Structure 1
Amino acid sequence: MTTRAVPLGIGHYLPERIVPNAHFETLVDTSDEWIRTRSGIERRHFAAEDETTSDLATHAARAALDHAGLAPDEIDGIIVATSTPDLTFPSVATMVQANLGMTRGFAFDVQAVCAGFIFALCTADAMIVSGQARRLLVIGAETFSRIMDWTDRSTCVLFGDGAGALILGAEDGAGTSQDRGILATDLHSDGRHRDMLYVDGGVSSTGTTGKVRMQGNPLFRQAVEKLTETADAALAKANLTADDVAWIVPHQANIRIIQGTAKKMGVSMDRVILTVQDHGNTSAASIPLAMSVGVRDGRIKRGDLLLSEAIGGGLAWGAVALRW
């Protein structure tokens, strides 16, 4: 028998404020058509002034616990993927732990920007397979609206706020590609490309929060190639191919990147869960948000093979093959 990290419940949360593309026409030289054509984004959600990343994460966590029918103290640990924490420390995860009234277990954050949820899933999978934990709450949560330069039309129109949460639990599998749960993972990073996507501030450099900076065209070229490679690698590790995939649940950065990756993999877009039009790029939150939407609307069903891939600042990228 093989221990697998199996999905037990999922949930998400989006702030109430919906911001359409037209909002940016008063801020920078752009238009709804320009944004839609280049990114596929139509609207996004922004957190309220008194809403923090841990607030969003807590809402998503509660939704996932409800979906799983579990109480907070039935969870062994919380892993939060975020690049926009409430404070430099302590971690967002410990704040969620306190908000949930969880009096046992552990909590910590993972930071790999837009690839953060993939890295968090890999970490959770390793902890469950090794026996260190039985049930883990894995969250992606961001408030990127707090680090936008509202004069930079190339970045400020792309990002949104939100959170998604997935509960994984240890279950016995046969050790085959037909098992439920995480079947394979693939992780990479290359710090030589850090200038393609970064924030120009930090504790030990400027002492400020900083703003998002991005080199769009070079990043696009890197993204399609690396996402295709890591997706294929994860499937190969699980002895599967793209033909076996029921749904690609990608990082929702840009419709052209999603389309380019699907095309290189030979997967039609009708097998891709798309939320970028409604959420924008929510960084580490985008995959669990899209996954939760797909489960809630009935597209993702038990036994479906899901493939998720993401790339973010670092550069950091990776993929996970998961049978729902």
Structure 2
Amino acid sequence: MASVIIAGVGSYAPKRVLTNADLMKIVDTTDEWIVSRSGIRERHIAADDEATSDLAIKSAESALIDANIKASEVDLLIVATATPDYPLPSTACVVQHKLGVPPHATCFDISAACSGFLYAMEVAYGLILTNRYKCALIIGAEKLSSIVDWKDRTTCVLFGDGAGAAVLKKVDQPGIGIIGSDLGADGEMVDALLMPGGGSRCPASTKSVESGQHFLRMKGKEVFKNAVRVMETVAREMVEQHHLTVDQISLVIPHQANIRIIEALSTNLGIPMEKFYVNLDRYGNTSAASIPLALDEARRAGRIKPGDYTLFVAFGAGLTYGSTLIRW
């Protein structure tokens, strides 16, 4: 039976680093306040002339090199993002052209916020198994600094910019690669985390700009409570569905949103924090980019070895959520 594997990974973070000390000059906050509530110490911020596609391309180039694949071999390109270059066309089409992916490739964006990379992986996995596609490039990329209200100290301290990518291919070896995935969404929680302006419900206008409708808005307590609940549920279900125990999970790569969420997940699942890969202290919440960015770092740090089980788990605006189990 064929399997779909992660053949290569790559990531990119903009050069500019914005520390908590820097933020103290912008809004009424302190390093202690930010770290105690989120675990974040710094984040990367894209340059004014850097768009989401630019970040995506740099991470994709690294992933292609890691997989020893040329862009001309990619026939499926999916970009997961909440901050596309344009409302239309898709950022995937921009990436396709600049990266050199051939015109016959299928290219589109996925909007599932912080769960976007896992959604993209599930879609690519299914399409590859139809035998209509041979090589997929999936990218999570965000320029969240472009939709953050830098006067709102409750949100501007949390988010950063970055990108991560993975190359997926089919191999004739059972029991490796993407073992399973469990995705979901709860539309009742739409207003817990959203950007009200810019869509058909609230088109861009002078009024929408002046009233801050084009910035992220978040109900922090509701997001926290539901994030812990759904991430624990899908993580536990994924382990149980595949007749594993939590002790058999070598590494958990969670969405990097808040250290307290990750610590709660660790406690509830009975998996020690030592098995969680955490880099949010250096990047903040990069939404769809957070899991692939952490995956690239974890692999380069030697945290992933052949035969290991790695569990990805995420939640995001929507509220979307999901878990994916990988065997290397």
Same fold, judged at TM 0.5 (above): yes
Matched, 1:244 2:244: no
For residue 56 of structure 2, what is the aligned residue in structure 1?
57
The 5-angstrom pairing of residues 39-58 of structure 1 reads: 39-58=38-57
Matched, 1:201 2:197: yes
Equivalent-residue separation in structure 2 for 1:200 and 1:155 (angstroms): 15
What does the per-residue CA deviation read over 1:253-273, in whole Å, with 9 as the maximum and x for residues that have no partner? 000001111111110011111
Shift of 1:127: 1.0
What does the per-residue CA deviation read over 1:108-157, in whole Å, with 9 as the maximum and x for residues that have no partner? 10000011111111111111222231211110000000000111111000
Query: Match of 1:26, SS?
Result: coil
For residue 137 of structure 2, what is the aligned residue in structure 1?
137
Shift of 1:232: 1.2
1:273 equivalent among 260, 274, 277: 277
Matched, 1:105 2:101: no
Query: Match of 2:172, SS?
Result: strand
For residue 210 of structure 2, what is the aligned residue in structure 1?
none
The letter for the 1-side match of 2:236 is D
Matched, 1:292 2:292: no
Shift of 1:6: 0.3
The letter for the 2-side match of 1:260 is A
For residue 169 of structure 1, what is the aligned residue in structure 2?
169
For residue 178 of structure 2, what is the aligned residue in structure 1?
182
Equivalent-residue separation in structure 1 for 2:117 and 2:242 (angstroms): 20
Matched, 1:222 2:199: no
Shift of 1:76: 1.6
Shift of 1:237: 2.5
The letter for the 2-side match of 1:236 is E
Equivalent-residue separation in structure 1 for 2:236 and 2:170 (angstroms): 26
Q: Contact between 1:238 and 1:321, CA under 8 Å: does it hold in 2?
A: no
Equivalent-residue separation in structure 2 for 1:90 and 1:240 (angstroms): 43
Equivalent-residue separation in structure 2 for 1:207 and 1:92 (angstroms): 20
Shift of 1:239: 2.4
Q: Contact between 2:75 and 2:101, CA under 8 Å: does it hold in 1?
A: no
* Aligned-pair Cα RMSD in Å: 1.1
Query: Match of 2:254, SS?
Result: coil
Equivalent-residue separation in structure 1 for 2:69 and 2:116 (angstroms): 25
Deviates more, 1:285-294 or 1:200-209: 200-209
Query: Match of 1:243, SS?
Result: helix
Query: Match of 1:102, SS?
Result: coil
What does the per-residue CA deviation read over 1:84-124, in whole Å, with 9 as the maximum and x for residues that have no partner? 00001111111111111121311110000011111111111
What does the per-residue CA deviation read over 1:241-297, in whole Å, with 9 as the maximum and x for residues that have no partner? 211111001100000001111111110011111110010000000000000001112
Equivalent pairs, count: 319
Q: Report the CA distance shift for 1:237/1:130 in structure 2 as closer, same or farther (over 3 A).
A: farther
For residue 74 of structure 2, what is the aligned residue in structure 1?
75
For residue 20 of structure 1, what is the aligned residue in structure 2?
19
Equivalent-residue separation in structure 1 for 2:74 and 2:301 (angstroms): 26
Equivalent-residue separation in structure 2 for 1:223 and 1:4 (angstroms): 30
Q: For structure 1, which runs of at least 5 residues remain unmatched after alignment?
A: none
The letter for the 2-side match of 1:198 is L
Identity %: 44
Q: Contact between 2:76 and 2:124, CA under 8 Å: does it hold in 1?
A: no
Query: Match of 1:45, SS?
Result: strand
Equivalent-residue separation in structure 2 for 1:184 and 1:121 (angstroms): 11
Q: Contact between 1:164 and 1:286, CA under 8 Å: does it hold in 2?
A: yes
Shift of 1:206: 2.4
Query: Match of 2:261, SS?
Result: helix
Matched, 1:302 2:309: no
Matched, 1:317 2:328: no
For residue 207 of structure 2, what is the aligned residue in structure 1?
none
What does the per-residue CA deviation read over 1:53-102, in whole Å, with 9 as the maximum and x for residues that have no partner? 00000000000001111101111211110000000111111111111112
For residue 159 of structure 1, what is the aligned residue in structure 2?
159
Equivalent-residue separation in structure 2 for 1:74 and 1:85 (angstroms): 24
The letter for the 1-side match of 2:162 is G
Shift of 1:202: 2.1
Query: Match of 2:27, SS?
Result: coil
For residue 259 of structure 1, what is the aligned residue in structure 2?
263
Q: For structure 2, which runs of at least 5 residues remain unmatched after alignment?
A: 205-212
Equivalent-residue separation in structure 2 for 1:211 and 1:241 (angstroms): 42
Please list every run of at least 4 consecutive aligned residues from structure 1 whose deviation after the TM superposition is greater than 3 angstroms.
none
Query: Match of 1:6, SS?
Result: strand
The letter for the 2-side match of 1:26 is K
